[in-house]
Amino acid sequence: MSIEYRNFLALPYDELEELNLAAKTDRINRVPIDEIRDKRLNYLAEEKRIKAVTVLFSDLEGRLHLLDYDKKFLLNSYENLTFDGSSIRGFTAQKESDLRLGIDWSAFYWVPADVFGTGKVLVFGIVIDKDGTPYSGDLRGVLKAYSDKLYAEKGYTLNAANEIEGFLFAGKDAEKNFHLTGKFDYVNTGGYYHSLPLDPLRQFIDTAAEVQRAMGFQNEKDHPEVAPSQFEINYGYGEVVAAADQIQLYKLLTRQIATNMGYTASFLPKPVVGVNGSGMHTNLSVSHNKTNLMWDAHGQEKLSEFGWDFIDRILSRALDICLILNPSVNAYRRLDPHFEAPNQIKASATDRGSMVRVPIGNSKSMRVEVRSVAPDANPYLALYSIFKTGIDGTKAEIKNLRQASRYLPDNVQQAIEDFRKSKWVAEILGADVQGRFAELKQAAADRCPRALGTFVKGPEVQYHHEVYNQSLWNLF
C-alpha cells in the first residue's frame, strides 16, 4: 500500500528528548493532574499527525499490555474506556469481566517512530474496577496510591533506580523456540565492559541507549555485562512510579530493538547455566523536602538510622516477599552463591552475596540497594512491597539480624509456601491478590521439576511470563 499521502507523526530524536524531558519535569514537580490532562488533550486535538494513542497497563505478574485507541475516539471517550479483564491473567473471573481504564496523563511519552511506529504516543493507564474504585490487581495503581499517600501525609518522596541486566541471543524467537532447541546462542562472547565498537551486542546497546535518551530516561552508562552476550543500560533516579514505568519501557524497547535486528532480548534471570545470571539491582531512597533521609555523615557507612531501620524491616520480611522479588522457577537458579548471587539474608557495604547492600554515597546519592530482585519481577509489585515493608513493616527479634546466617529459598516451591502463609503479604496486598498471585506461580511451578538440576529445562522458559501465550501452554 502506498504511503505517499500519509502524514503521520515521526519526530527527530532530539525533539523527542526535549518533549519527554519537559513532561518529566511536570511529573517531578507534581503539576496538578487536571492541568497536565488539559495540556495533553489540547496537544492531541491540535496535532493532526497523531492517529492513535497507545495506553499501557500491567497485569498481576508484570506482563505489559498495550491497547491502541483511535485518537479521535479517545478525545471523546477517555473517561469511559473499558476492556475485558477476564482475558488478562490474574485479573477478573469471566463472570465479572468488565474493567475500566483511566489515563495517568502525567505518564505521557513521545516515542521514536522507527521503534514504536509512526503517528503514535504512549500513556500509562490506571485499571479501575466496575464500581469505580481502583482495581486491587493493578499494582501500578496500588504503588501510586501508596506513594501519593506518603507524600500527602509525611512529605515523603519515594525514589528508585534499577540496574536491569539482560541477555541478547541470536534469532528473533530464541525464548519461544527453547523447548525445541534446548539452548541459547550468544551474539557476543566479549564479557564485562569488553566488546568491539561495532559488534552486534555493542550496536544493540547503542541503539537502545539512543531510544532511551530520546524518551527522557537521562542515561548514565551502558556496557556489556560479565556473562557473554549480557548487557546493562543504566539511567537516572526517579520518583517510584515513574521508575517502575521506565522498567516496563526499558524491557519493551529493548525487546523491539532486538527483534528489529534479528535477535532476542531476554530477561530470564538465569537462561544459561555456568555463567552469571541477570539481576535487577534496585536502589532506593526516601526524601523529605529534597533532603535525603538515608544520609547521615556520622552514621554507620554514612547511612542514617532511618536507612538502617529500613534495611532491618526488609531483612525481617525477606522470606515473605521473596516470591515477589523472584517470581519464576528460573529465578532460583540465579540465587546460586558461586556467581555473586545475593542469596544471604543480611546487609553489607562490601559483600555482594548479601541480599541488601549499602553503596558508597553522599548527601544526594546515599541509598539502599536490594540486590536479590530478578529482572522478571513485576516492577510495581516489587517496589511497592520493598517500600511498604521498609517504611511500615516491623523488625524481627533476631540476634545480629543484619549478619545472621540465613538464606533465601533455592527453589520456587519453598518461596510460594512462604508467600502463601505470610500474614504480612496478606496485610499489604489483601488475601485475594495474595491468593491469585500464588496460584499463577504455582501453575508454572507444577509444570517444572522441583529439583532444578544442572540444565535449564524447557518449561522454565516456556512458562516464563514474558513469553506466555495460550499456544505455548497447550504444548505441554
pLDDT tens track for 210-229: 999 999 998 777 666 768 99
Give residue 122's pLDDT band: very low, low, confident or very high (50, 70, 90): very high
Q: Give the model's pLDDT for residue 468.
A: 63
Amino acid at 17: E
Q: Crossing angle of helices 379-392/318-325, nearest 10°?
A: 160
Phi and psi angles of residue 155, each rounded to the nearest 5 degrees, phi first: 75, 15
CA-CA distance, 328 to 377, in Å (whole number)?
8
Decide if pLDDT at 338 tops 80: no
Please report the DSSP string for 11-80 in residue order: --HHHHHHHHHHHHHHHHTT--HHHHHHHHHHHHHH-TT--EEEEEEE-TT--EEEEEEEHHHHHHHTTS
Domains of the chain, first to last: 13-135 (3.10.20.70), 156-473 (3.30.590.10)
Tell me the pLDDT tens digit for each residue of 49-91: 999 999 999 999 999 999 999 999 999 999 989 888 877 888 8
Tell me the pLDDT tens digit for each residue of 301-313: 999 999 999 999 9
Q: Give the model's pLDDT for residue 474.
A: 65
Contact of 69 with 81, CB cutoff 8 Å: yes
Q: Give the model's pLDDT for residue 327.
A: 96
Decide if pLDDT at 16 tops 60: yes
Amino acid at 200: P
Q: Give the model's pLDDT for residue 405.
A: 81
Q: Give the model's pLDDT for residue 85.
A: 80
Decide if pLDDT at 273 tops 70: yes
Q: Give the model's pLDDT for residue 2.
A: 52
Give residue 193's pLDDT band: very low, low, confident or very high (50, 70, 90): low
Alpha-helical regions (H) of 352-395: 379-392
Phi and psi angles of residue 350, each rounded to the nearest 5 degrees, phi first: -125, -35
CA-CA distance, 294 to 219, in Å (whole number)?
23
Contact of 207 with 236, CB cutoff 8 Å: no
- Provide the percentage of residues in the chain whose pLDDT is more than 70: 93
Amino acid at 178: F
Q: What is the mean pLDDT of the chain?
A: 91
Tell me the pLDDT tens digit for each residue of 98-107: 889 999 999 9
Strands 344-348 and 354-357 come out as parallel
Give residue 337's pLDDT band: very low, low, confident or very high (50, 70, 90): confident
Q: Give the model's pLDDT for residue 48.
A: 93
Decide if pLDDT at 322 tops 90: yes
Contact of 315 with 355, CB cutoff 8 Å: yes
Q: Give the model's pLDDT for residue 208.
A: 94
